[in-house]
Chains A and B, each alone.
Chain A
């Protein structure tokens, strides 16, 4: 069964600190992995996307890594800001009958305190 597991479930950090969120998956056959940010009451917004051959991808203060061998990904947030408080969702897509179906993790809820 295709699954995406994220840890920790929730995280509280102080402003300007760094943090790392984890994602493990069993999705197969793997197509791509995205990290999304979802603010409360809004739809998810894509932060990064990586395919099988990519190990790291950055978007400003967000850096995602991918180890396709161990099926693990991480999202590192540098110098956190209050506006980083949100749910961060790992989404792994697999190919199925010509389509690419995304499997969503439950997300990590990040709270940044001043």
Chain B
């Protein structure tokens, strides 16, 4: 059973377009993290959201945690080829282990 479902699994868009990827669960998480992973490397943490309804911005990336702390979204404005990668969400319940979604593989075409 996949606790965290990410959608879409694959997304290929043109440079300059906007996009949103989603991370959904039926479980409540105390915090949720977003990572980006490039080929041949380990995931790198982008952001952690903790409070229901919280919105965090990282340059052109906007992360939102759902009010009920069961879902999250990542919105990228004016996507660039450097945004290409595998985006992973990971949820934590208290001090328990992180559970990862299966990822969204994003390709930005020049």
Chains A and B bind each other: no
Residues of A whose CB lies within 8 Å of any CB of B are none
Residues of B whose CB lies within 8 Å of any CB of A are none
